[in-house]
Structure 1
């Protein structure tokens, strides 16, 4: 079903692609303006997409399908889950272009073209309804990010870009083999059809592990997370924003689109694997974050811990967990992107990311200190910010599945507060005793334009999360219907139910 009468998803994908080609033939100044105009136009289309999306309407909306050759077709369509991730992508892209405005001086046209190509492929991943179209978009996204880190990154950029590329490519080879088997078994490459296909239980385990190999690296889950701190530290600021903001979400999207609905028996059977890896990730990476001296590395390790909340929530097999996981993904996309921008602001002034070099910046950069505090609190999960809603729902969900897993997740929240507040205290508070730090000017107008919209959305999601949850609610129900039959139930006394009223009634009955 397409409400608008024109192929808006194809347009969202084509617009940055055309702008990328134009950038390659333009000079540096023109390339910047072309990239900004294209990303703002795509953002406007994203808002149109959100405003015309029918909440509670058909599952797949804005559907387009053009058969190309054999079973392969240009098939696009979105549900509420894909809609939210597309809106997140188009919201962050103009911010990334503006963040690179003065920071990038060499090979500007190629840099802007790489970012626009990245936007094309990210939207393609979330909108694809053909299995192999998804795979092409999913894998091709490696290329522009590889170039962004490898050409415009820091001193060890070559090592970081190769590590990023090889880690993510290795897992995806297994996923491709699994996809070929699935297409052969089901006789179709349509993702909506495959989501309703019942694969043999013994095959599901192998298929689940093949997809898990790819999505776990993308998330990234422990122990295949080691490429992420290197990639973040070496990437330019805007590269870190889009890497943390959107690319990590592709793993979570893969789990909710493929692993859970297509392999429900295997997902329930391997719950212990996901819960175990997520528990280690939350505790281990939080402890590693506590001892970091590089700001970017600290935020990179915090990303691994936050993504563990997502995997916990997704594999809780209940509504609170799934909705919480989606909100954590959206919130983390905004908050970690904003934190990397905050690091970029002070790095532009002092050209170091070493935490010990700063101190007392709240005295001479009060506006910066206030925004940095807001994003720090959102990362910790302060009520009233976007971080709280998702983490609270994820915790409720995982408690319904396993009390031990919930206990491990709680330690992550405590440790998260420790390393983020420790970071803020060392950078913004204390004595302003270094002359070069005292000379740093407060946020410029361009930097305020980058950070204020992010702050507004973080507060909006914290105060009124319903506007983000409503489009996804029905689609979460569809996933739950698939996994419900295979989930034996957790060890918690919480009653699993899609309907909270039923759960409360059942709990009262149990008490009597």
Structure 2
């Protein structure tokens, strides 16, 4: 897992070099094909290193993240032609990819929360920096506050699990014996707010319309 993380980190200097748009795009797709060749276990975590691991679900999510970031670069060719802060745009995409990679591969619940919230920052910058209409500021604020307030119960739930069980490693979550539906719904609220659900989906159309 660390080799892919370092690969993305070393892509950051390329973002600020001249005429490296196509090279960054090719490296992202090359990394996707390299990641597809990892040997995965169907039932357990594999590629374990310090606080990082991968199962079949996280493998698919990481692969999807790399694929979508590559498509974002392909769809942004017009920004490259206009030279509209293309270096910062590339850095933003790579930083978002790093945050998503860390979110889906980390084994600690608290670190998962930090990286999950950290991916909000480049998304917010993408909407507010490269959106097409003045309403992008309002859409960015909707995205920020809906996501932050819905994620607070997840943080409190993680603290509660650590206080009760003295561990928050994802691998050991299957041994939890907590029959608490309120805890479950409070922790899952951070993910439900991302779905088109009644009362919590008001930010979704705004963010999707204003996204570059």
Per the normalisation by structure 2, the TM-score is 0.91
Give the aligned partner of residue 65 of structure 2: 89
Whether the aligned pair in 2 keeps the contact of 1:178 and 1:207 (CA below 8 Å) is yes
Out of 105, 115, 129, the position equivalent to 1:151 is 129
Aligned counterpart for 1:35 among listed residues 18, 24, 27: 24
Matches of 1:195 and 1:38, distance apart in 2: 37
SS, match of residue 48 in structure 2: strand
Deviating more after overlay: 149-158 vs 102-111: 102-111
Change (3 A) 1:48 1:96: same
CA contact (8 A) 2:62 2:101 kept: yes
- Decide which of 187, 191, 216 is 2:166's aligned counterpart: 187
Q: Which position in structure 2 is the counterpart of 1:135?
A: 113
Compute the displacement of 1:211 (Å): 1.0
Structure 1 residues 307-338: Cα deviation after superposition (integer angstroms, max 9, x where no partner): xxxxxxxxxxxxxxxxxxxxxxxxxxxxxxxx
1:126 paired residue among 104, 123, 146: 104
**CA separation of 1:103/1:22 partners in 2, compared to 1, >3 Å: closer, same or farther?**
closer
Partners of 2:148 and 2:9 lie apart in 1 by: 23
In the aligned structure 2, how far is the partner of 1:229 from the partner of 1:172? 20
Q: Are residues 76 and 223 of structure 1, via their aligned partners in 2, closer, same or farther at CA, if it must alter by over 3 Å? A: same
1:45 and 2:21 correspond: no
Whether the 8 Å CA contact 1:53–1:61 is kept in 2: the answer is: yes
Matched length: 209
User: What's the CA shift string for 1:122-154, capped at 9, x where partnerless?
Assistant: 122221111111111110010000000000002
Show CA shifts across 1:429-471 (max 9, x none): xxxxxxxxxxxxxxxxxxxxxxxxxxxxxxxxxxxxxxxxxxx
**Native 8 Å contact 1:149 1:161 kept in 2:** yes
Q: Does 1:227 align with 2:203?
A: yes
Where 1:225 maps in the other structure, the secondary structure is coil
Q: How far apart are the structure 2 equivalents of 1:219 and 1:125?
A: 18
Query: How many Å apart are 1:39 and its aligned residue?
Result: 0.8
Point out which structure has higher relative CO (alpha carbons under 8 A, 6+ apart). 2
Q: Which residue of 2 aligns with 1:62?
A: 47
8 Å contact from structure 1 (residues 13, 121) kept in 2: no
11, 20, 45: which one pairs with 1:19?
11
Q: Which has the larger radius of gyration?
A: 1
TM-score, normalising length from structure 1? 0.39
Whole-angstrom CA distance in 2 between matches of 1:217 and 1:14: 32
After superposition, the CA RMSD in angstroms is: 1.7
1:212 matched to 2:188: yes
Which position in structure 1 is the counterpart of 2:56? 80
**Aligned partners of 2:92 and 2:126 also within 8 Å:** yes
After superposition, residues 336-347 of structure 1 pair within 5 angstroms as none
SS of corresponding position for 1:63: strand
**Distance of 1:37 and 1:126 partners within structure 2:** 23
Cα deviation for residue 12 of structure 1 reads 2.3
2: distance between equivalents of 1:148 and 1:80?
A: 29
Unaligned 5+ runs, structure 2: none
1:220 deviates by 4.1
The alpha-carbon deviation at position 96 of structure 1 amounts to 1.5
SS in 1 for 2:11: helix
**Poorly superposed stretches of 4+, deviation over 3 Å:** none
- Whether the 8 Å contact between 2:14 and 2:24 is mirrored in structure 1 is no
CA shift for structure 1 position 21:
4.3
Do the aligned partners of residues 162 and 174 (structure 1) sit closer, same or farther apart at CA in structure 2, a change above 3 Å counting?
same
**Structure 1 unpaired stretches of 5+:** 1-8, 66-74, 237-512
1:79, CA displacement in angstroms? 1.4
Alignment-derived partner of residue 149 in structure 2: 170
Which position in structure 2 is the counterpart of 1:267?
none
